[in-house]
Structure 1
Amino acid sequence: MNELLAVFIFFFAVIDPIGTVPVFIALTRGDSDKFKRKVALKAVLVSAGVLLFFVVAGELLLNAINIPLSAFQIAGGIVLLLFALSMIFGESKPEMEIKSVRDSTETAIFPLAIPSIASPGAMLGAVLMTRNTEYTWVEQLITSSMMLAVLVVVLVLLLLATHVHKLIGDSGASIISRIMGLILSSVAVTNILDGIAHYFGLQVFT
């Protein structure tokens, strides 16, 4: 039971359901409730598919193309940092132009599903927590179920995000979005530094 709780807490931390809410609010600000529900459901389903892919084939894929996990962590951190900076400073294109060309699928996939929910840290965690050399298929199945349970929490919070938005308003959503951008940028830099340290640590001992 303690191990299951530990796995759940791990994925809760790397997926960060609470931190996804202000991102969702900022992305869907001014949209209808129907549009928001569609975006939330698609984002969680896409995220589940991506993370399950990394559970099943992530390690095999990285090994096949001879990419160390540390390099994957560095690349993921850079992508997350770029997204975080866009949250802090705003989009380069006018908001009306972006809104006129986007739809629920586009918004759900980027940046909500990737890299907000299925973040580089979550992808990396999915690979590390289901390594074929250390975990049986039963243990990997249990780990995957805990990961999916966290995604259910994400979906519930996103569906309730409208009520949160009513409390904080547009200005509050904008402020939270920028604060989350700062937090995400810190997480991204941490991922990059950890990846660099792990890579050169491996190089020292090989």
Structure 2
Amino acid sequence: MLELYISSLITFFVVIDPPGCAPIYAGLSAGATPAQRRTMAIRAVAVASAILLVFALFGEDLLRGLGISLASFRIAGGIMLFLIALEMVFEKRTQRREDRAAKVADDPEAEDVSIFPMAMPMIAGPGSIASVMLLMARNDGIERSAVVFAALATILLLTLVALLLAGPLMRLLGTRIEAVITRLLGVLLAALAVQFVMDGLQVSLR
């Protein structure tokens, strides 16, 4: 169970990327008061948690209704996570997030950034949705599912802390250290993505 928790924790940490969300949130909420920043951070994590919970509980039924096999979803999800990993290693994901944040910041009507882009797609994006569905599918039973949920809850709590401490955190880390961490996590995510694809291929080739 401890191994499952650590593996799930790493997966969610890499995909949701709390340290990566912090600078984007700091930039988007630069004109807000401290109280508004706290409110938006809490709302963003709450909405993202609800989205991920729905897909964790009912994602497999949704796939079944669409006629998509779980093995196919594992392969597709693994490929998608691998592409995210490549972007992290070559720092393209950070640039895309910053570009998206800049577009929202330039919109004078976009004052509340908690739902978009923070909750979705930055926290509950395609990668995190695919990850939670894949991990739930690979771990049947109440106990193993509870471990996955515990890992997800831990990362969401860490994300909330990162958003609340976004300004001080960025001053502490600096851009160089953040880049090193992002690339290292990208390599780990690539390995996990390949494992997802291999699992899917093993099931489909039986």
**Structure 1-normalised TM-score?**
0.67
State how far apart, in whole Å, the 2-side matches of 1:127 and 1:204 are: 18
Aligned pairs for 1:32-43 within 5 A: 32=32, 33-34=34-35, 36-43=37-44
**Cα distance in 1 between the residues matched to 2:196 and 2:152:** 26
Q: Could you tell me whether the CA contact under 8 Å between 1:23 and 1:180 is conserved in 2?
A: no
Matched AA of 2:170: H
SS at match of 1:16: helix
Q: After TM superposition, which residue ranges in structure 1, 4 or more long, deviate above 6 angstroms?
A: none
Cα offset, 1:108, TM superposition: 1.3
Deviations, residues 149-206 of structure 1 (Å, cap 9, x unaligned): 41334323432333212324xxx24x4554455345435543553343233322332x
What are the equivalent positions in structure 2 for 1:122-201 lying under 5 Å apart?
122-129=132-139, 131=140, 135-136=141-142, 139=143, 142-143=146-147, 146-147=150-151, 149-150=153-154, 151-168=156-173, 172-173=174-175, 175-176=176-177, 178-179=179-180, 181-183=182-184, 185-187=186-188, 189-201=190-202
Indicate if the aligned counterparts of 1:44 and 1:154 stay in contact, CA closer than 8 A. yes
SS in 1 for 2:116: helix
- Identity of matched residues, %: 23
The structure 1 residue matched to 2:118, chosen from 108, 112, 116, is: 108
Residues 8-47 of structure 1 aligned to structure 2 (within 5 Å): 8-16=5-13, 20-30=17-27, 31=30, 32=32, 33-34=34-35, 36-47=37-48
Q: Structure 1's 180 and 43: CA in aligned 2 closer, same or farther, altered over 3 A?
A: farther
Q: Which amino acid aligns with 2:135?
A: G
Amino acid at match of 2:131: G
The RMSD of aligned alpha carbons is 3.7
Write the distance in 2 (CA, Å) between the matches of 1:86 and 1:154.
Answer: 21
Contact preservation (8 Å) 2:42, 2:160: yes
* CA displacement at 1:106 relative to structure 2: 0.8
The one-letter code matched in structure 2 to 1:73 is R
Change (3 A) 1:91 1:97: same
Separation of aligned partners in 2, 1:41 and 1:117:
21
Alpha-carbon separation, structure 1, partners of 2:77 and 2:15: 20
SS at 1:28 equivalent: helix
Mapped contact 1:20–1:117 kept (Cα < 8 A):
no
Q: Which residue of 2 aligns with 1:60?
A: 61
Q: Flag structure 1 segments of 5+ consecutive residues without an equivalent.
A: none
User: 5+ unaligned residues in a row in structure 2: which ranges?
Assistant: none
